[in-house]
Structure 1
Amino acid sequence: MEGAVENQSPSQRNYVLRALERFAEYGDREAIVGRGRRLTYADLAAGVLSVAAALRANGVRSGMAVGVLVAHPPEAPTLQLAMHLIGSRSVWIDPAALRREVDDYLRLVPPDVLIYDPSTHEEQAAQLGARLGVPLLCLGAGGQGPNLLTPQPDAPSIADLLGADEPQSVFQTSGTTGVPKSVHHRQALYRQLDVLAQELLDAGERNVHHLTQTPLWHPAGQISALLYLFSGGLLVIMEKFDVGEFCATIERERVSSVFISPPMLYQLLDHPALDGADLSSLNLLSVGSSAAAPDRLRQGVARFGPILRITYGLSECPFISALPGVGDEPEHPQRLRSCGKPYGDVRVEIRGETGSVLGTGQVGEVWVASRMNFAGYWGQPELTAETLVDGWLRTRDLGYVDADGYLHLVGRVQDTIITGPGSRCIYPRPIEDVLVTHPKVRAAAVIGVPDTELGEAVHAFVVPDPDATVTAGELTELVRQELTPVWVPHRIQFVDSLPLTGIGKVNTKALRARYAAEHGAAADPIGTSV
Structure 2
Amino acid sequence: MGEQSFDPATNYAHRALTLFAKYGDAEALVAVDGRRYTYAELHAEVVAMAAALWRHGVRPGAAIGVLARNPAESVFLQLAAHLLGCRTAWIANNAPDRFRRGFLDLAEVDFFVYDAVILPEMGAELAALAQDRPVLCFGPGGVGPDLNADRATELPFDPADVTDEPSSLFQTGGTTGSPKLVHHRHGFFAALHLLSEFYLASGAPQLRHLLVAGTWHVSAQTAVFMTLFSGGTAFLHDGLEYPLFYETVARERINSTLLAPPLLYVLLDDPKSADADFSSLVTLTVSGAAASPARLTQAIARFGPVIRIVYGMSESPFITAMANLDHDPDHPERLASCGVPYGDVRVQIRDEDNQVLPAGAVGEVWVSGSLLMAGYWGMPELTEQTLVDGWLRTGDVGRLDEHGYLYLLDRVKDMIVTGLSSTNVFCRPVEDALAGHPQVRAAAVIGVPHELEGEAVYAYVVPAAGATVTGDELRAHAAAELNAMWAPQQIEFIEAFPLTESGKVDKKALRERYLAGVQEA
TM-score, with structure 1 as normaliser? 0.79
Give the Cα separation in 2 of the matches to 1:447 and 1:70. Answer: 23
1:308 aligns with 2:307: yes
Q: Which residue of 1 aligns with 2:27?
A: 30
Give the Cα separation in 2 of the matches to 1:446 and 1:212. Answer: 23
1:277-324 Cα shifts (integer Å, max 9, x gaps): 111111111100110000000000011111101001111111111011
Give the Cα separation in 1 of the matches to 2:49 and 2:358. Answer: 52
Give the Cα separation in 2 of the matches to 1:446 and 1:130. Answer: 27
Give the Cα separation in 1 of the matches to 2:318 and 2:137. Answer: 32
1:263 aligns with 2:262: yes
Give the Cα separation in 2 of the matches to 1:233 and 1:201. Answer: 10
Q: Which residue of 1 aligns with 2:517?
A: 526
Any idea what SS the aligned residue of 2:136 has? strand
Give the Cα separation in 2 of the matches to 1:78 and 1:448. Answer: 36
Give the Cα separation in 1 of the matches to 2:493 and 2:243. Answer: 37
From the superposition, tell whether residues 240 and 368 of structure 1 become closer, same or farther in structure 2 (CA, over 3 Å): same
1:491-525 Cα shifts (integer Å, max 9, x gaps): xxxxxxxxxxxxxxxxx997774167564676677
Any idea what SS the aligned residue of 2:148 has? coil
Residue of structure 2 aligned with 1:62, choices 57, 60, 66: 60
Tell me by how many angstroms 1:201 deviates: 1.2
Tell me by how many angstroms 1:67 deviates: 0.3
Give the Cα separation in 1 of the matches to 2:444 and 2:101. Answer: 33
Give the Cα separation in 1 of the matches to 2:484 and 2:354. Answer: 32
Q: Which residue of 2 aligns with 1:492?
A: none
Aligned length: 451
Tell me by how many angstroms 1:96 deviates: 1.6
Give the Cα separation in 2 of the matches to 1:457 and 1:384. Answer: 26
Q: Is residue 349–residue 368 contact of structure 1 (8 Å, CA) maintained in 2?
A: yes
Any idea what SS the aligned residue of 1:409 has? strand
Q: Is residue 175–residue 426 contact of structure 2 (8 Å, CA) maintained in 1?
A: no
Structure 1 counterpart of 2:352, which letter?
A: E
1:226 aligns with 2:222: no
Tell me by how many angstroms 1:256 deviates: 0.4
1:377-423 Cα shifts (integer Å, max 9, x gaps): 1110000000000000001011000111100101210249xxxxxxx
Q: CA RMSD in A?
A: 3.1
Q: Which residue of 1 aligns with 2:504?
A: none
Q: Which residue of 2 aligns with 1:514?
A: 488
Matches within 5 A, 1:117-266: 117-133=115-131, 134-153=133-152, 155-156=154-155, 159=158, 163-174=162-173, 178-266=177-265
Any idea what SS the aligned residue of 1:145 has? coil
Q: Gaps spanning 5+ residues in structure 2: where? A: 1-5, 432-442, 454-481, 498-512
Q: Is residue 447–residue 459 contact of structure 1 (8 Å, CA) maintained in 2?
A: no
Matches within 5 A, 1:389-400: 389-400=388-399
Any idea what SS the aligned residue of 2:413 has? helix
Q: Is residue 301–residue 308 contact of structure 1 (8 Å, CA) maintained in 2?
A: yes
Q: Which residue of 2 aligns with 1:99?
A: 97
Q: Which residue of 2 aligns with 1:374?
A: 373
Q: Which residue of 1 aligns with 2:80?
A: 82
Matches within 5 A, 1:464-483: none
1:187-231 Cα shifts (integer Å, max 9, x gaps): 001110000111111122353110011100000111111110111
Tell me by how many angstroms 1:172 deviates: 0.6
Q: Is residue 397–residue 412 contact of structure 1 (8 Å, CA) maintained in 2?
A: yes
Q: Which residue of 1 aligns with 2:407?
A: 408
Q: Is residue 105–residue 181 contact of structure 1 (8 Å, CA) maintained in 2?
A: no
Structure 2 counterpart of 1:106, which letter?
A: L
Q: Which residue of 2 aligns with 1:482?
A: none
From the superposition, tell whether residues 119 and 183 of structure 1 become closer, same or farther in structure 2 (CA, over 3 Å): same
Give the Cα separation in 2 of the matches to 1:19 and 1:37. Answer: 21
Give the Cα separation in 2 of the matches to 1:350 and 1:324. Answer: 22
From the superposition, tell whether residues 402 and 160 of structure 1 become closer, same or farther in structure 2 (CA, over 3 Å): closer
Q: Is residue 447–residue 458 contact of structure 1 (8 Å, CA) maintained in 2?
A: no
Any idea what SS the aligned residue of 2:10 has? coil
Give the Cα separation in 1 of the matches to 2:176 and 2:445. Answer: 19
Q: Which residue of 1 aligns with 2:472?
A: none
Tell me by how many angstroms 1:131 deviates: 1.2
1:40 aligns with 2:38: yes
Structure 2 counterpart of 1:27, which letter?
A: G
Q: Which residue of 2 aligns with 1:437?
A: none
Structure 2 counterpart of 1:379, which letter?
A: G
Q: Which residue of 2 aligns with 1:288?
A: 287
Tell me by how many angstroms 1:447 deviates: 11
Q: Gaps spanning 5+ residues in structure 1: where? A: 1-7, 417-427, 433-442, 466-507
Q: Which residue of 2 aligns with 1:115?
A: 113
From the superposition, tell whether residues 407 and 463 of structure 1 become closer, same or farther in structure 2 (CA, over 3 Å): closer
Q: Which residue of 1 aligns with 2:382?
A: 383
Tell me by how many angstroms 1:369 deviates: 0.8
Give the Cα separation in 1 of the matches to 2:20 and 2:425. Answer: 46
Any idea what SS the aligned residue of 2:214 has? coil
**Deviating more after overlay: 46-55 vs 242-251:** 242-251
Residue of structure 2 aligned with 1:53, choices 48, 51, 54: 51
Q: Which residue of 1 aligns with 2:464?
A: none
Residue of structure 1 aligned with 2:10, choices 13, 16, 19: 13
Matches within 5 A, 1:283-362: 283-362=282-361
Structure 1 counterpart of 2:344, which letter?
A: D
Any idea what SS the aligned residue of 1:207 has? coil
Structure 2 counterpart of 1:70, which letter?
A: A
Any idea what SS the aligned residue of 1:355 has? coil
Q: Is residue 243–residue 271 contact of structure 1 (8 Å, CA) maintained in 2?
A: no
Any idea what SS the aligned residue of 1:320 has? strand
Give the Cα separation in 2 of the matches to 1:459 and 1:39. Answer: 43
Q: Which residue of 1 aligns with 2:460?
A: none
Give the Cα separation in 1 of the matches to 2:112 and 2:445. Answer: 45
Give the Cα separation in 2 of the matches to 1:446 and 1:101. Answer: 12
Give the Cα separation in 1 of the matches to 2:393 and 2:518. Answer: 38
Q: Which residue of 1 aligns with 2:457?
A: none
Give the Cα separation in 2 of the matches to 1:268 and 1:284. Answer: 16
Tell me by how many angstroms 1:461 deviates: 4.8
Q: Is residue 262–residue 452 contact of structure 2 (8 Å, CA) maintained in 1?
A: no
Q: Is residue 48–residue 153 contact of structure 2 (8 Å, CA) maintained in 1?
A: no
From the superposition, tell whether residues 509 and 301 of structure 1 become closer, same or farther in structure 2 (CA, over 3 Å): farther
From the superposition, tell whether residues 171 and 354 of structure 1 become closer, same or farther in structure 2 (CA, over 3 Å): same
Structure 2 counterpart of 1:215, which letter?
A: G
